[in-house]
Amino acid sequence: MTNLVHLSLSLTDNNIPEYDLDSQMLPRPEYNIVRRIVEPKFATIVSISVDPYCMSDDQLVCLLKVPDLRLTSLNLLTTYGTVGGAVINAIATHQTEIVHLFINLCAISAEHFDLLCHHLEKLVTFHFYDFLSKRVLTCWLESLMYFKELRTLIIKDLDLHDFSNFREPTILQRLLDKPRDIQLTHLDIDLQCLQCDLSKPTLNIAKICLRFVASRLLRLTFLCLSCCPLDENLFSEITTNLINLVVLRVQNCNLSDDALTGIKNMEIDASRPPLRHLKRLTELDLYCNEVTDASLESAFASCSLKKLSLEDCSLITDCGLLNLAAQPESFKRSIEELNLSGCYEVTDLGLSILLPELKRLRVLNLKGCREVTSKTLETVKTYCPKLRHLGVSKTSDIRDTLLLDTLPLLKLE
């Protein structure tokens, strides 16, 4: 045990008993292990994952106050569990070395959030969701101002309700007025609230957030936008300014062909698609049901993607696959993973034309492609020697064909 350097504990048992907090002992054997291991002659615990739904705040505070416990990672993020102010106080007072924090903020006051901002100076990863207060917009922006080392910010289920009447100057305006070199490289933001509230004030707030992303977060290499109001102009701002993007995921954002191609009335000109600015882009995920075959004719002409996901783009047909097959060689040579799951209009014919063009394809997802049969497996055998993973529906006849015996390296998923 003396050579142990790092230890991660997961304390998520649903049957954690109540305990006398006046005692010096912690309530479970695992906690007693924590006490013994954190002695200097043993190890440093660097990561603890706790389900606050299964623990009282008092128990969690007791755990965070273990002498000599110096966490670098704390995961309190669960679907239902929340933590209160006492837990935040314990984190800010006793665990200031944390660099990765995952937490549900919906029961936390603005004052307690300020505690995190002013005490966790080394924070690199911050993942939170469901912050139900009028400061929800400023909450994630404050993290950009105070956490100077922050690289990864993941925000889920933000509630923008009630913010439309918040008239005081916001930290957003302060950030825009006083630009700072923000180091953030990874942003994942989910505005599911827009599905419930499509009022003009709420949409305007969301668009202000996105314009801030496009104009200030210039170091981003990973951007995931879910349920965001991405119109043609906003998408153009993002792709024009965030030229360091390596991964771009756009999910449930109603992204249109006009936004992807930069061309209205479908006057095709391969030199104009917004994606042409993203020279470093290797992964693109378009989980958008308004994308059609027209986008596949010109949107990717200047891309060299390794991964392309068109999951649930249900308007894509064989014509779209033909458009992909007609892309420049630089595009076709680079594709290693292609996700067409949910594109139920795609058939064996379209795949028989596209797959021979994708010489380096290793992963292909065809789940939900109900018109695809075992004929596509023959195309795979002939033209896709590097394919190793094939996703198909449970009812697909591909699972029963004898051709699988001739492809021992191919795994069905």
Q: Which residue has the higher pLDDT, 220 or 161?
A: 220
Domains, the chain, ordered by start: 1-123 (no CATH), 126-137+149-229 (no CATH), 243-413 (3.80.10.10)
Please give the distance of CA 42 from its chain centroid, rounded to a whole number.
36
Q: What is the pLDDT of residue 58?
A: 82
* 195 or 387, greater pLDDT: 387
pLDDT in tens, 11-42: 544 433 333 333 333 334 444 444 444 444 44
How, if at all, do strands 222-226 and 247-251 pair?
Answer: parallel
Query: Are the beta carbons of 392 and 366 closer than 8 angstroms?
Result: yes
Burial 257-268 (b: 16+ CB within 10 A, else e): bbbbbbbeeeee
Beta bridge partners of 55: none
Kindly tell me if the per-residue pLDDT of 308 is higher than 90.
Answer: yes
Nearest to 273 by CA among 300, 245, 313: 300
- For residues 409 and 273, give the distance between their C-alpha atoms in angstroms, rounded to a whole number: 38
> What average pLDDT does range 39-53 have in this prediction?
59
Tens-digit pLDDT profile for residues 139-148: 566 677 678 8
In this prediction, residue 263 carries a pLDDT of: 67
The predicted-structure confidence for 355-406, as pLDDT tens digits, reads as follows 999 999 999 999 999 999 989 999 998 999 899 999 988 878 887 787 787 7
Tens of pLDDT, residue by residue over 73-125, are 888 876 455 677 888 899 999 999 998 888 877 667 778 888 888 899 899 98
Distance CA 185, CA 192 (A): 23
Q: Tell me the range of 84-88, 167-171, 267-271 where mean pLDDT is highest.
A: 84-88
The mean pLDDT value for 271-295 works out to: 88
Burial environment of residue 245 by CB neighbours within 10 A (0 to 12, 13 to 18, 19 or more): buried
Beta-carbon neighbour count of residue 223 at 10 Å?
Answer: 22
pTM: 0.83
H/E segment holding residue 139: helix 136-146
